[in-house]
């Protein structure tokens, strides 16, 4: 039997309930190997996000994966305090995890990304599921980054769909529009996973119950966190459930889920101070002609995906087993 190769990944995140699910998904994905993680302020501060990430890694038996602290403030202005009404005061829905023993890596998130890109030239995949401050900083540190990285997948933006932080802007892009503009303008092929796709990928209460009934601590902790997330999304969908933004981007990045509608178009970010600030302006005028090729376009905008993503996500997360974590002496560490 041939074992599929594992792609090295750099994950940039603002952990965050759906970030926690994306991280767990990536750890469980048979074709991914997480080489390093950087955090950025978004749902919580970069420091709180790093703490959550370290704690989750320990719970999952992956405490060896290095975590680097990234930018606290966006390029313009300062960190606005996060989104406790969505993710809870601690970013993971009030769930308390056993504090990690591991410490932060002795480098910034941007430095880690540049280092990993040099260590894995042409094969490193970047998954960015928070504001793009660290990625823009890495581009400035190493202008050849787009040539060194195999591909970058970004959860962010809203193409045809409305925004979730303003009528036209999505949170990750709105939290640092200047950085997002730089990242989209760089000469790499970007896969953008906007709200168009993620708001249609919904986890229901029966999925949450499946996670809660696992004998392993990671799915159980995620199920508990989702209780908080579901309460926020009840105000949007009218029932306890939630969109799966970051996990969907992770599944697309590892290739486990395929996009069914994903035109490659020109894309820019509004960095003005007007009502459009943070909007991702994707040139989708080809919609009526099956999206003809656009010269110079590099941004693949995922509008629709195949299959039942929620079922795939839960099935993957349930592969965390009691025996793995117990063998590592970590069972029961979700309080
Ligand atoms: C994005 O913003 C954050 O709240 C989520 O973690 C996700 O990355 C959705 O707009
Ligand atoms: Ca996120």
Cα 160 vs. chain centroid, distance in angstroms? 21
For residue 247, the CA-to-ligand 2 centroid distance in Å is 9
pLDDT averaged over every residue in the chain = 95
Q: Which atom of ligand 1 is nearest to the CA of 243?
A: 9
Domain ranges of the chain: 7-325
**267 upstream amide cis, omega within 30 of 0:** no
User: Measured from the CB, is residue 124 less than 6 Å from ligand 1?
Assistant: no
Q: How many residues does the chain have?
A: 335
Half-sphere exposure of 230 (CA within 13 A, CB side): 17
Contact 173, 269 (CB under 8 A): yes
User: Measured from the CB, is residue 43 less than 6 Å from ligand 1?
Assistant: yes
pLDDT in tens, 205-256: 999 999 999 999 999 999 999 999 999 999 999 999 999 999 999 999 999 9
For residue 249, the CA-to-ligand 1 centroid distance in Å is 11
pLDDT in tens, 181-211: 999 999 999 999 999 999 999 999 999 999 9
User: Model-level pTM?
Assistant: 0.96
pLDDT at 335: 37
| 245 catalytic per annotation | yes
* Average pLDDT of the residues in 109-116: 99
| 14 catalytic per annotation | yes
Pocket test for ligand 1, best of 131, 172, 177 (most atoms within 8 A of CB): 172
| CA–CA distance, 118 with 133 (Å, rounded to integer) | 20
pLDDT in tens, 35-44: 999 999 999 9
pLDDT at 324: 58
For residue 43, the CA-to-ligand 1 centroid distance in Å is 7
Question: Of the listed 7, 87, 207, 245, which one is catalytic?
Answer: 245
pLDDT at 127 over 50: yes
User: Measured from the CB, is residue 152 less than 6 Å from ligand 1?
Assistant: no
User: Measured from the CB, is residue 171 less than 6 Å from ligand 1?
Assistant: yes
* Average pLDDT of the residues in 304-309: 97
pLDDT at 334 over 50: no
pLDDT at 321: 80
pLDDT at 323 over 70: no
User: Measured from the CB, is residue 52 less than 6 Å from ligand 1?
Assistant: no
Q: Does domain 7-325 have CATH number 3.40.50.970?
A: no
Q: Output the DSSP codes for 172-192.
A: HHHT-HHHHHHHHHSSS-EEE
| CA–CA distance, 154 with 292 (Å, rounded to integer) | 23
For residue 3, the CA-to-ligand 1 centroid distance in Å is 33
Question: Of the listed 14, 19, 176, 270, which one is catalytic?
Answer: 14
């Amino acid at each position: 039997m041939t074992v599929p190769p594992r792609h090295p990944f750099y994950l940039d995140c603002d952990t965050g309930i759906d970030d926690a699910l994306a991280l767990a998904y990536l750890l469980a994905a048979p074709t991914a190997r997480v080489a390093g993680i950087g955090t950025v302020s978004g749902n919580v501060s970069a420091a709180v996000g790093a703490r959550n990430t370290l704690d989750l890694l320990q719970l999952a038996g992956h405490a060896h994966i290095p975590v680097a602290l990234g930018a606290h403030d966006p390029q313009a202005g300062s960190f606005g305090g996060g989104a406790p009404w969505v993710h809870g005061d601690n970013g993971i829905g009030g769930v308390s995890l056993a504090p990690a023993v591991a410490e932060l890596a002795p480098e910034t998130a941007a430095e880690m990304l540049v280092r990993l890109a040099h260590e894995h030239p042409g094969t490193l995949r970047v998954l960015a599921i928070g504001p793009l401050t660290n990625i823009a900083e890495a581009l400035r540190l190493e202008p050849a980054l787009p040539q060194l990285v195999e591909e970058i997948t970004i959860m962010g933006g809203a193409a045809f769909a409305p925004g979730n932080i303003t009528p036209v802007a999505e949170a990750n892009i709105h939290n640092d529009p200047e950085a997002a503009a730089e990242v989209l303008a760089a000469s790499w092929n970007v896969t953008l996973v906007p709200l168009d796709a993620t708001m249609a990928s919904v986890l229901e209460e029966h999925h949450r119950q499946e996670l809660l009934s696992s004998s392993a601590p990671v799915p159980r902790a995620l199920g508990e966190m989702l209780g908080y997330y579901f309460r926020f999304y009840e105000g949007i969908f009218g029932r306890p459930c939630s969109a799966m933004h970051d996990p969907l981007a992770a599944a697309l990045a590892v290739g486990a889920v395929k996009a069914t509608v994903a035109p490659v178009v020109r894309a820019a970010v509004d960095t003005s101070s007007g009502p459009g600030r943070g909007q991702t302006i994707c040139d989708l005028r080809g919609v009526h002609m099956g999206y003809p090729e656009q010269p110079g376009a590099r941004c693949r905008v995922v509008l629709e995906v195949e299959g039942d993503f929620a079922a795939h996500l839960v099935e993957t997360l349930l592969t965390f087993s009691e025996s793995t974590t117990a063998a590592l002496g970590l069972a029961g560490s979700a309080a």
